[in-house]
Amino acid sequence: MRIIVAGGDGFCGWPTALYLSKQGHDVTILDNLVRRKIDEELHSNSITPIASLEDRVAKWKELTGKEIKTFVGDLNHYDFLREVFRQVQPEAFVHFGEQRSAPYSMIDREHAVYTQTNNVVGNLNVLYAIKELAPDCHLIKLGTMGEYGTPNIDIEEGYIEIEHKGRKDVLPYPKQPGSFYHLSKVHDTHNIMFACKIWGIRATDLNQGIVYGLHTHETEMDPMLVNRLDYDGVYGTALNRFLIQAAIGHDLTVYGSGNQTRAFLNIKDTVRCVEIAAENPADRGEFRVFNQFTEWFSVKELAEMVQKVAKEEGLDTKVASIENPRIEKEEHYYHAVNTKLRDLGLEPHLLDDEVLRSILKASIEHNNRVIKENVLPKVTWK
Ligand code: NAD
């Protein structure tokens, strides 16, 4: 299959591009490399030293003989995007190419506007490019479990049957996102749903949980293929951030009570979920939603799991509750459905001590690269 991976230089996109290429697909990466520029803006870095996109794909070709084409450019530039579609004629478009940090979107007005413009307009351009140049192409769009927020009822996969005043309908599941970034994803969802209805586009929205881990089988093949791993207060996500904090002897910073519960999955499952979606395309006009996660944990539970494994590795780590920089419920119900990807064949890599240990060891290997001032959160929601 001819597949474009937008955002293919990022944390989820790079291992996905390699995995799909290994499976025999004809993969093209589209990325404007803005994530690398944001590292410069924030004076931050990936704890792992990442090679340039050019060197990464050259190494992949040297090792496997497989070519991954690259287009460096912005989804917001429609002429560029149209040209990529014209040259590639994609059968699937995997869309990871967005600004994905909630704290980044909450820094100030400029960052909120950038996040929503970049994400919503970029996604809208992708919808138009599919309509105009590849109407049969399957859009596989990365959404997030954060779109749903934390309702006091079970979270369904995209839709919920409602009975109201004696009548019933299946309606989009209510969204209660917690940042301008998460709101951008909800806006995307609405635009995609509408485009499916009016133009007959086929789309799968993958409401992904928080991704942890670093390596996949492919990224481990050579240091030049290593994935990025974020730890700072802006881009570091729970679990990966805790593991890196443990690796540098920092307290594990739990926000508030730590009873906030979120859905998680291993990066090895991210790549497989995208493959499953690609192999089982949505029908023309169908807007399909999969909840892409394998387990859920409270933030405090995760910190305690990391603390235990770190101790076994000889690291004395404390779990520290710090003032919550976000505005979110700290005590809430959480139960979400995730059967659709399982039904299509996903066999999850669940979190256990060995998985934690391997990410911890990789973090220890590079812990001299950590810029310590960046570890604590500086962005607040207020
Ligand atoms: P990332 O920041 O590491 O990668 C995103 C990539 O997209 C970067 O390489 C960036 O340069 C590129 N990009 C951004 N805007 C672009 C544009 N306008 N044109 C072209 N390229 C652009 O992020 P990630 O962690 O890999 O996340 C990928 C996707 O998965 C995002 O859409 C994110 O919302 C979603 N997601 C991620 C997580 C997670 O835990 N990492 C969880 C849920 C959902």
Global pTM reads 0.98
Q: What residue has token string 């109407």?
A: 135
Q: How confident is the model over 15-19, as a mean pLDDT?
A: 98
Asked if 330 contacts 260 with a C-beta cutoff of 8 angstroms, the reply is yes
> In this predicted complex, what is the ipTM?
0.99
pLDDT in tens, 55-68: 999 999 999 999 99
Best CA proximity match to 265, nearest among 232, 247, 290, 235: 290
- Rounded alpha-carbon distances, angstroms, from residue 278 to 110, 115, 162, 170, 286: 35, 27, 30, 25, 14
pLDDT in tens, 109-130: 999 999 999 999 999 999 999 9
pLDDT in tens, 151-209: 999 999 999 999 999 999 999 999 999 999 999 999 999 999 999 999 999 999 999 99
The encoded tokens of residue 251 equal 């307290």
How much distance in Å is there from the Cα of 264 to the middle of ligand 1?
16
CA–CA dist 253, 176 (Å, integer): 25
Sorted by where each begins, the domain ranges of the chain are 2-229+266-294+334-348
Best CA proximity match to 181, nearest among 38, 373, 24: 38
The encoded tokens of residue 117 equal 């413009």
Cβ of 35 closer than 6 Å to ligand 1, yes or no, is yes
What is the identity of the amino acid at 41?
E
Top-tier CATH class for 2-229+266-294+334-348: alpha beta
Asked if 84 contacts 73 with a C-beta cutoff of 8 angstroms, the reply is yes
How much distance in Å is there from the Cα of 124 to the middle of ligand 1?
16
Half-sphere exposure of 76 (CA within 13 A, CB side): 12
How much distance in Å is there from the Cα of 95 to the middle of ligand 1?
8
Cβ of 188 closer than 6 Å to ligand 1, yes or no, is no
